[in-house]
Amino acid sequence: MDETTHGRVDDPVGGEDRPWFDYYGPSVPRTIPELTEVSLGELAAAAAATHGDAPAFSNLGGTLSFNQVDALATRFAAFLQHDLGLHKGDRFVIQMPNVLQYPVAFFGALRAGLVVVNANPLYTTREMVGVFKDAQPRAILVLANFAHKVEEVLPSTSIEHVIVTEVGDLLPQPKRTIVNFVADKVKKMVPDYHLPHAVPFRKAIALGRTERFTDPGVTLDDIALLQYTGGTTGGAKAAILTHRNLLSNQEQFMAQIRATLGEERQSTIIAALPLYHVFALTVNCLGFYRFGSHTVLITNPRDIKGFVKELDKARPDGIMLVSTLAGALLDEPTFKDIDLKRLSLTVAGGMAVRTAVAERWKETVGTEIIEGYGLTEASPVVSVNPTHIPPRIGTIGVPLPSTDVRVVDDEARPVGIGTAGELAVKGPQVMRGYWNNDEETSRVLTEDGWLLTGDVAVMSEDGFFTIVDRKKEIIVASGFNVYPGEIEDAAMMHPLVAEAGAIPIPDERAGEVPKLFIVRRDDSLTEEALKAFLKERLTGYKRPRVIEFIDEMPKTNVGKVLRRALREREAASQD
């Protein structure tokens, strides 16, 4: 497939070697049309021009229309340009959960020509320093709940400007004051911090209103996003995603989804995954936004009872979640009593859908869970089960329009149908490479543009793909990638740890969780003490659930931890 300057991927060969075309719905094209916008900022403006005063995003009882999102984003962009003096290409960190400020800040930063760096709010200060030192951002927007961590790391970073927002900042009065007061004073969710030069978000918007936005001349091939995925050796590693990558991927995904939702009325979509996760970002913040859906942002999906109340109130047409969250909803007794008659689309990303969860969901809700597949390096969506036919549970469906997928051997040569090999992807959504990391880039991108995913898959004769194993040793915990090397590096910082090896173990809720094997320098080190040590260094989903002390770490002849042997040891212990 060849990419034109406008982001369209042509089909120079017929569909005979792409049998998945037979499973495209009647309105799904083989290739996406020419991109009509040249930047994500233009996407926001185009959505406002098309959908106007219809509700775009709702959260915590407040709603922003498409026009309001566009206007606020423009003001924020003007503030970033004129008051902070940021220029095209400067990196800008957004560190917050799903609140109304996220899409405003995201589109505003991109409109100003900045490169957005998503930072998980649950990052430890050590993780924040790693990301910030690599990305070299000039500014950050952070939710006040996490501003104390920014205060701590600020001297070790390149950050010149801090903008702080409170959870209710874009809610109408008096709800804004009440929500912010409860979060700070009643629930004590905002630890004390001292950032005397920080600019409040609402002040930034007010200042931007008095400035004239200057078009920075963003193009399709400019970088839009540095999306961090971790690294096999524990270091920070960011996929470089351009405006072309993200615009293309939202168009590819929505090509499969539009017909399911229909356009007779505005659809309501639940965004249960955080927008700092690339799946929710591309699908909810871009795809459904451009389509004109009303997206309900769930700030804390772990509050299952509260989440169920939001679902009951919203009466959604679609839900984007992960398998573990679907399972948690099914386990909540009140879930079966709410009205989900309008729900026609449930898409699970981030991790494999458990068969038991899929069957229970169909029985309880009446509709199927649609499983797809993606990875950060592909913006992220690669394939999805067609939505006009019953899904094939256990498969990742068929490739999206303008996407080629094949299964290859260790020399990147295609293997036969039904033969296991590494999944390789080619299309306009594939990243440019890793930021400041040519070595890692060369490992995953071939000279002719194929992305080697590290996942082992097989293709059926009719073009459906199934993931059978992972070539990379990534642990997928509740849809989030966890790299064993990062856990091992953190553990090795403890003076009583001699060697460390991390592997995935199955977990009923999270799918997988890390288990850590440790060779101690001294028997006085306990599991409880090491877990407490790691709590200060790793985000919750990265922390090992189980730690096992062993006498000797299996290693290769060059001294690398042999995680395969650890997995075999674990499997034998379960027999």
- In tens, the pLDDT along 447-468 reads 999 999 988 899 999 999 998 8
Read off the pLDDT of residues 143-190 as tens digits, 9 standing for 90 and up: 999 999 999 999 999 999 999 999 999 999 999 999 999 999 999 999
Read off the pLDDT of residues 393-436 as tens digits, 9 standing for 90 and up: 889 999 999 999 999 998 889 999 999 899 999 999 999 999 99
Look up residue 427 and give its two tokens.
């299309």
Q: Which residue ranges form the domains of the chain, and what is each CATH number?
A: 15-440 (3.40.50.12780), 475-574 (3.30.300.30)
Average pLDDT over residues 231-248: 80
Read off the pLDDT of residues 382-392 as tens digits, 9 standing for 90 and up: 999 999 999 99
Read off the pLDDT of residues 350-382 as tens digits, 9 standing for 90 and up: 767 767 788 889 999 999 999 999 999 999 999
Residues paired with residue 514 on neighbouring β-strands, in sequence order: 504
Look up residue 569 and give its two tokens.
């040891």
Residues paired with residue 34 on neighbouring β-strands, in sequence order: none
Average pLDDT over residues 5-21: 54
Q: Please give the Cα distance from 534 to 542 (Å, whole number).
A: 9
Verify cis geometry, omega within 30 degrees of 0, for the bond prior to 554: no
**Of 182, 139, 144, residue with least CA distance to 158:** 139
Q: Above 50 in pLDDT, residue 312?
A: yes
- Give the per-residue pLDDT at 262: 83
Percent residues over pLDDT 90 in the chain? 76
Residues 6 or more apart in contact with residue 160 via CB below 8 angstroms: 84, 138, 139
Instruction: Tell me how crowded residue 379 is: count the other CB atoms within 10 A of its CB.
Output: 33
Q: Above 70 in pLDDT, residue 560?
A: no
Q: Above 60 in pLDDT, residue 493?
A: yes
DSSP 120-167: -TT--HHHHHHHHHHH--SEEEEEGGGHHHHHHHGGGS---EEEEE-T
Helix (H) or strand (E) holding 548, with range, is strand 546-549
Percent residues over pLDDT 70 in the chain? 94
Q: Above 50 in pLDDT, residue 234?
A: no
Q: DSSP E strands: which ranges in 272-397? A: 294-297, 318-321, 345-348, 369-374, 381-384
CB–CB of 298/272 below 8 Å?
yes
Q: What does pLDDT average to over the chain? A: 91
Read off the pLDDT of residues 57-107 as tens digits, 9 standing for 90 and up: 999 999 999 999 999 999 999 999 999 999 999 999 999 999 999 999 999
Confidence of residue 142 (pLDDT cuts 50, 70, 90): very high
Q: Please give the Cα distance from 439 to 244 (Å, whole number).
A: 24
By residue count, the chain amounts to 575
- Give the per-residue pLDDT at 230: 54
- Give the per-residue pLDDT at 15: 44
Q: Tell if the pTM clears 0.75, that is, is over it.
A: yes
Q: Please give the Cα distance from 551 to 565 (Å, whole number).
A: 14
Read off the pLDDT of residues 177-230 as tens digits, 9 standing for 90 and up: 999 999 999 999 999 999 999 999 999 999 999 999 999 999 999 999 999 985
> Can you say whether residue 159 is alpha, beta or left, with left for phi > 0 and alpha for psi between -120 and 50 degrees?
beta
- Give the per-residue pLDDT at 370: 92
- Give the per-residue pLDDT at 381: 96
Q: Above 50 in pLDDT, residue 3?
A: no
Q: Please give the Cα distance from 567 to 522 (Å, whole number).
A: 25
- Give the per-residue pLDDT at 264: 83
Confidence of residue 442 (pLDDT cuts 50, 70, 90): very high
Q: Above 70 in pLDDT, residue 241?
A: yes
Q: Please give the Cα distance from 349 to 106 (Å, whole number).
A: 22
Q: Please give the Cα distance from 320 to 382 (Å, whole number).
A: 16
φ, ψ of residue 50 to 5 degrees: the values are -85, -40
Q: Please give the Cα distance from 132 to 139 (Å, whole number).
A: 10
Query: Sign (positive/negative) of CA torsion 39, 45, 51, 53?
Result: positive
- Give the per-residue pLDDT at 348: 87
Put the strands of the sheet holding 404-408 in their side by side order. 404-408, 421-426, 451-459, 465-470
Q: Give the chain's end-to-end CA distance (angstroms, integer).
A: 47
Q: Above 80 in pLDDT, residue 11?
A: no
Look up residue 123 and give its two tokens.
């990052």
- How many helices (H) does the chain have, and how many strands (E)? 17, 26
CB–CB of 502/488 below 8 Å?
yes
Instruction: Tell me how crowded residue 272 is: count the other CB atoms within 10 A of its CB.
Output: 22
Residues 6 or more apart in contact with residue 540 via CB below 8 angstroms: 122
Task: Tell me how many degrees the CA angle 1-43-348 measures, rounded to the nearest 5.
Answer: 70
Task: Between 487 and 152, name the one with better pLDDT.
Answer: 152
Confidence of residue 476 (pLDDT cuts 50, 70, 90): confident
Q: What is the largest CA-CA distance in the chain?
A: 69
Query: Sign (positive/negative) of CA torsion 472, 473, 474, 477?
Result: positive
Q: Please give the Cα distance from 8 to 31 (Å, whole number).
A: 7
HSE toward the beta carbon, residue 250, CA cutoff 13 A: 27
Per-residue exposure over 296-319, b if at least 16 CB sit within 10 Å of its own CB, e if not: bbbbebeebeebbebbeebebbbb
Q: What's the one-letter identity of residue 377?
A: E
Average pLDDT over residues 4-15: 36
CB–CB of 375/453 below 8 Å?
yes
Q: What's the one-letter identity of residue 241?
A: L
